[in-house]
Amino acid sequence: MSIRTEEHWLEPDAGRPRQQQICRSSGQQLLATLTLAVVVASLIGCSAGSKTNTARASTQTVVPVAVATAERRDVPVYLKGLGSVTASNTVSVKSRVDGQLAQINFKEGQHVNEGDLLAVIDPRPFQVALDQALANLFRDQAQLKDAQRNYERFKSLFDDSGAISQQQVDTQKAAADQLEGAVRADQSQIDNAKLNLVYTHITAPIGGRIGLRLVDVGNMVHAADTNPLSVITQLQPIAVLFTLPEDNLQTVSAHMHQSTLPVEAYSRDDLTKLATGTLLTIDNQIDQTTGTGRLKAMFDNPDDALWPNQFVNVRLLLETHKGSIVIPSVAVQTGPQGSYVFTVKTDKTVAINPVTVSFTQNNVASMASGVAPGDVVVVDGQDKLQAGIKVDPHPSGGGANRNAQSSPAQSAPTGAP
């Protein structure tokens, strides 16, 4: 029994007919053959797909790029600096006499002209002082007349009969002179009282924009007060102080002797033009701590676009280059052998042209060599290009005048000079 059981485990089909065993063996071989065929077919399909992808990869895709056309035009050369707006004149309006503030004749922020009435100090005490000085003058004038007449009498008596002495005549002459001095002093008091009466009417010493009211009606004001009634700032014209590197000062000075140099003031973000003026002067010394010199420009400022203590970006127009070849500055790339640009040829393939940049101004590059008027240069998409690659160009929307933003430096593509 143990031997049969072992034979049963070792040969499970030993009890089946021989024909059934043969059929089963043939089925297994057929299944193995079909499985092998499926695997081979899959491998063939994958190989074919790989060849198709390789073929597609070998056919390079056209690269879309933005382009601009090089053109010839005049290019202004600017020197840029940071400036601060300074009022031409600033006056703190104060009272020149002591008294009670009786009237305010201006509105805060109002533009006033020279001589306009701004405020009134109570004039009654000063009018009384004037009347008193006039009375003193009238009294002393009467006494002077009497003294002068007595002097004339004494002098006549002395000359005609000698009835009086010379000493009496001289004493009377001195009394008359003293009274004449008193009359002159009275006249001075009258002039001072009149002047104080005028000072009770506070007028604008200059034309300009008046600021906030710092003292209210009814308060006592004094000539020695620290705080003014208000402040007048002259905004038209207005000045801008700005700095330039000391290396530029000699060139600016030379151009100043030839013509008046325009100056433009821009907002803090350097995008909005605020006003246009002219360069007035250069300071007489250089700041050793910064290596810069200060310059002053004047602006008419008719629309009050500039305000005192405002920070502005200043552009000084130094000269204008006539007939320069210009392209957007973003078109210029830098490689191991220098600057270059990608140009699009008539067959819509790109070429690499080494270039020499004369100068860059306002996102526009003036070219000294390497680019001719009418050449189409790539301004966007250079990182995907190399010499001979086919591109799909489309306009950048501004040509050489396009305000392209500065982009981070890119590594030179294959084949770049």
Q: What is the pLDDT of residues 305-354, one digit of tens each?
A: 999 999 999 999 998 888 899 999 999 999 888 999 999 998 889 999 99
Q: What is the CA radius of gyration of the chain?
A: 50
Asked, as a colleague might, if the bond just before 237 is cis with ω within 30 of 0, I would say yes
More confident residue, 249 or 2: 249
User: Residue 241 burial (CB < 10 Å; 0-12/13-18/19+)?
Assistant: middle
Distance CA 69, CA 328 (A): 9
Contacts of 373 (CB under 8 A, 6+ apart): 70, 71, 72, 325
pLDDT band for position 407 (cuts 50, 70, 90): very low
Mean pLDDT of 277-288: 94
Mean pLDDT of 183-188: 95
The predicted-structure confidence for 1-54, as pLDDT tens digits, reads as follows 344 444 443 344 444 444 444 445 555 566 666 666 655 555 555 454 444 444
First vs last C-alpha separation in the chain: 93
pLDDT at residue 385, as a whole number = 86
- For residues 321 and 314, is the Cβ–Cβ distance under 8 A? no
Distance CA 378, CA 296 (A): 41
Kindly report the pTM of this predicted structure: 0.62
Distance CA 172, CA 178 (A): 10
Residue 410 has a CB neighbour count (10 Å cut-off) of 10
pLDDT at residue 40, as a whole number = 53
Length of the chain: 417
Both tokens of residue 337?
A: 């052998």
Percent of the chain with pLDDT over 70: 81
The predicted-structure confidence for 92-120, as pLDDT tens digits, reads as follows 999 999 999 999 999 999 999 999 999 99
Mean pLDDT of 170-182: 92
Closest C-alpha to 235, from 304, 314, 311, 310: 304
Question: Which of 151-165, 257-271, 346-360, 393-407 has the weakest average pLDDT?
Answer: 393-407
